[in-house]
Amino acid sequence: MKVPETTAARVLVVGDVMLDRYWIGDVSRISPEAPVPVVLVSGEEFRLGGAANVAWNCAALGARTRLLSVVGADPEGRLLESLLKKEGIEPRLHRDRSIKTTQKLRIIARQQRQQLLRVDFEVSPSREVLASKLAEFRSALKQCDIVILSDYGKGGLTHVTKMIAMARGAGKPVLVDPKGDDYSRYASATVVTPNQNELRQVVGSWTDERDLERRAQALRRRLKLQALLLTRGERGMTLFRDGRRMNFKTHAREVYDVSGAGDTVIAALGVMLAAGVSLSESVRIANRAAGIVVGKFGTAVANREELFG
């Protein structure tokens, strides 16, 4: 296959950003205070999480990437912005003084690279800040080829229905990584990319592959989607289109950490579509990218060299 030219692809990512923080140390004893391990922290790492990880994956594939989101007026928000700029991403971050930037702190045992505990810090942004973001979203549509909406259920996509309508009205394809049990707000998007647990929340449990196809196609038709892409872990992916279904086997050689794999899928899919690659081939490439990142520690990216080299 000819390697897609992605450097001219322009991607607009909108959604819930977070700062992924890792405390890494050695575990050699159990606490005398409670039956829990004692971690002697010797290192700290910061990575881009949520929609920021989606943008990071887009940039790693060579796309010109802009990220629109909300952070707190705090040191974590400033650190997030500096990490984005370091990766070549154009950050458009609205600062909300009433919240703190969302953080996920993971405590890791160095010897096994095993996660012992995760601590979340989050507060939903104010509706006023989110409403003010719509004007910038409308303006940004003129400079993008595709829109990726990354919904982590943190409140940053309260106006997602309006955003989809605005983007579709401007002739831009819209990809959505969904959350929750109400997908009606994603109606008229181009592609929605749930994982198996997320899809079950909406359509219920299926008994076999035929039942799955019936439920997935019914949802796709009801929402007026061009396609629904189901990510299935070790079973790969299944793409549901009008009257068609395509299965893609997993490319993972070894699953080390599934953190952010969905971010990689929607990022690779968006970049490839923006570069003019067909939907089925874009899914094939996204599937390969997911197989790369699950073999890495923490939130990570698959770059062009790994994907096509």
Cβ-contact 43, 8 below 8 angstroms: no
Distance CA 55, CA 52 (A): 5
Cβ-contact 215, 200 below 8 angstroms: no
Task: Give the Å distances, CA to CA, from 94 to 15, 69, 73, 106, 273.
Answer: 12, 6, 9, 26, 28
Task: Give the Å distances, CA to CA, from 183 to 15, 146, 156, 202, 280.
Answer: 16, 20, 16, 7, 23
Distance CA 66, CA 55 (A): 7
| Matching residue, tokens 């700062």 | 19
Backbone phi and psi for residue 75, each to the nearest 5 degrees, phi listed first = -60, -35
Backbone phi and psi for residue 147, each to the nearest 5 degrees, phi listed first = -115, 130
Residue 177 known to be catalytic: no
CB atoms inside a 10 Å sphere around CB 137? 18
Question: Which of the 8 DSSP states describes residue 156?
Answer: T
What lies within 8 Å, CB to CB, of 112 at 6+ separation is: none
User: Which of the residues are catalytic?
Assistant: 263
